[in-house]
A and B are shown apart, each in its own frame.
Chain A
Amino acid sequence: MEKNNRKGTVLFSKYTRGEGIKKVLSISREDVLFELRESKLKGRGGAGFPTATKWTIVAAAKSDQKYIICNADEGEPGTFKDRVLLLEYPELVFDGMVIAGYTIGATKGIVYLRGEYEYMLKSLEDYLEQMRKDNLLGKNIIGKKGFEFDIEIRLGSGAYVCGEETALIESLEGNRGEARNRPPYPVNTGFMGKPTVVNNVETLASVPHIIAKGGTWFQKHGTDKSTGSKLFSVSGDCGKPGVYELPWGTKISELLKIVGAENTKAVQVGGASGTCIPKSQFERTLAYEDAATGGSIMIFNESRNMLHILKNFMEFFVEESCGQCTPCRIGNTKLLEGVEMIERGEFTFNYVNQLKELGRTMQVASKCGLGQSSPNSFISILENFKDEIFFQNGNGGTHGK
């Protein structure tokens, strides 16, 4: 596993394997939770739930068995930061899981690796084996009596919806990956009905740094509400696509400059389920309080057809909807049909508006995050690029509103 000598202030800063584990075993669980709360770390998958809260609930729960699950089912179009973390920085992810295990009192961690990443499996398992040999996993970890923890890697089988935490748990239990009703949340009733923490790869990778360097250090980066830094997976029309670590609060225009993007028409923030931001809004900042993202940044230049992009997104959702709830199953199909009607020029504005209303209904009525967020790109692209899409030969031009 080669390191690209990536540069970054938090995640890509210096860290040696086991550093966080050694430190954490010398302090109490309460202190770990305190540091975490101090850091204000929020979930990096996109939803942004405070990690300390999740851990505190599970740590306080009384149960003979608890679990820590690392969500490596990175399926959002345009996201590949977890690939980089797992291939180049596995020490951060696995140390983070051990720290979580110690803090919440779990003896078992599970990495749910998406089926598409099966090529990583061998190297990750070798890495875990090495950790076992060095007593960073197993019984009495580095001499701490009574602390036992091990990590297992389980593969997904090509279902985007399994990135949703309850669908992921269903999949681990050997069922169809269909989301559960929430509540109860996994922190109470998770894997095998036991209290379970499900964290994104990047969230767990942030934890060893927080433990080694302190919550206050972490909190100094980023903005007030979005602390620390974020890995952005940048793809599309730019000179240097790849993974970038930037502090939260970076403006979209600044990011475009860093990655060498020119003639940019639109930026899709947050993947297919995120929103499409036109040129006029490039001064917005990337942060939980403004343009939130799980890390996916897709850049489209002036030559791109926004309707084609929207169609690609909607085809994705029609394929990946698990089909258990009606708003998502039927809704996405209807939205895709609408896009195809617009493509053929056989639409009425009345119907398009009804479809947007349908999208808003899906946002509230769908059972899980998939259907709740799939209309985002439909609504934002049709609203921000209506001149291009509906009046191609008129006065509008292609710059969006």
Chain B
Amino acid sequence: MLVTEKNNMTEEIEELVRRYGRERSSLLPILQSIQRKHKHIPDFAQQEVARLLDIHPVEVFSVISFYSFLNTKPKGRFIVRLCQTISCDLQGKAAVSKAIERELGITFGETTKDNKFTLEYANCVGMCDQGPAMIINERVYFKLTPEKAVQILNELK
């Protein structure tokens, strides 16, 4: 990380700490904000959060590693989470996942070379009556067909 990048990151985290407070209970909202913006929580950010909240960096890492929506390695700008739970599965999840994999040229768990998409499976996203469903960043898409899913991905800028 460049020094300027580090400085920006520190400023950003200081601002988050001001907004959410210096308590331990603010940890998750702070991490979620960093994740939302950077699509991952870099080592340096973890150390800064720990310093500002006055906890050990390992505590921060421990929390990140627990939650499936937080990660320490970079991911694509669009994180595609396809629901793999049974109701979506029975409504044709496999065809949708194959189509997406074919179209992007990667398999689930991977990120495209241009860092645009990361493919992941999610457990039940609560759209069981209108499956198959996927969540891309903060938006939910449902009643997917292989064609529709690919079209949605192509339209993302």
* Contact of A74 (CB < 8 Å), options: B63, B86, B126: B126
B17 adjacent to chain A (CB < 8 Å):
no
Contacts of B127 in A (CB 8 A): 80, 83
* Contact of A316 (CB < 8 Å), options: B23, B62, B85: B85
CB < 8 Å A-B pair total? 124
B7 adjacent to chain A (CB < 8 Å):
no
In the bound complex, do residue A159 and residue B128 qualify as a contact, i.e. CB atoms below 8 Å apart? no
In the bound complex, do residue B87 and residue A77 qualify as a contact, i.e. CB atoms below 8 Å apart? yes
In the bound complex, do residue B28 and residue A154 qualify as a contact, i.e. CB atoms below 8 Å apart? yes
In the bound complex, do residue B86 and residue A174 qualify as a contact, i.e. CB atoms below 8 Å apart? no
Q: With A and B bound together, what is the CA distance between A158 and B71 in angstroms? A: 12
In the bound complex, do residue A78 and residue B28 qualify as a contact, i.e. CB atoms below 8 Å apart? no
In the bound complex, do residue B123 and residue A319 qualify as a contact, i.e. CB atoms below 8 Å apart? yes
Contacting chain B: which of A26-34, A204-212, A231-239, A357-365? A231-239
B45 adjacent to chain A (CB < 8 Å):
no
Interface size class of A (residues with CB under 8 A): 35 or more
Contacts of A71 in B (CB 8 A): none
Q: With A and B bound together, what is the CA distance between A225 and B141 in angstroms? A: 40
Known contacts A158-B122, A172-B25, A298-B86; decide if A80 and B128 are in contact (CB<8 Å): yes
Contacts of A176 in B (CB 8 A): 62-63, 66
B69 adjacent to chain A (CB < 8 Å):
yes
Contacts of B28 in A (CB 8 A): 154-155, 157, 171-172, 174
Interface size class of B (residues with CB under 8 A): 35 or more
B74 adjacent to chain A (CB < 8 Å):
no
A351 adjacent to chain B (CB < 8 Å):
no
Interface string of B109-132 (1 = CB under 8 A from A): 000000000000011111111110
In the bound complex, do residue B129 and residue A234 qualify as a contact, i.e. CB atoms below 8 Å apart? yes
Interface string of B127-157 (1 = CB under 8 A from A): 1111100010011100000000000000000
B68 adjacent to chain A (CB < 8 Å):
yes
Q: With A and B bound together, what is the CA distance between A83 and B23 in angstroms? A: 30
Known contacts A118-B138, A157-B28, A157-B32; decide if A80 and B68 are in contact (CB<8 Å): no
Interface centre among A80, A157, A304, A309, by most B CB within 10 Å?
Answer: A157
Q: With A and B bound together, what is the CA distance between A322 and B68 in angstroms? A: 11
In the bound complex, do residue B124 and residue A174 qualify as a contact, i.e. CB atoms below 8 Å apart? no
Residues of B within 8 A of A (CB): 23-29, 31-32, 62-63, 66-70, 81, 84-87, 89-90, 122-131, 135, 138-140
Q: A158-B122, A234-B129 are in contact. List 12 more A-B contacts (CB 8 A).
A: A78-B128, A79-B124, A79-B126, A116-B135, A159-B68, A173-B24, A174-B24, A176-B62, A192-B25, A298-B87, A312-B89, A316-B85
Residues of A within 8 A of B (CB): 74-80, 82-83, 114-119, 121, 154-160, 171-178, 192, 233-237, 241-243, 268, 272, 298, 300, 304, 309, 312-313, 315-316, 319-320, 322
24 chain-A/chain-B pairs, Cβ below 8 angstroms: A77-B85, A78-B87, A82-B126, A114-B126, A115-B67, A116-B81, A116-B124, A118-B138, A154-B28, A155-B28, A157-B28, A157-B68, A158-B68, A160-B123, A174-B26, A175-B63, A233-B129, A234-B129, A235-B129, A242-B129, A298-B86, A312-B86, A312-B89, A316-B123
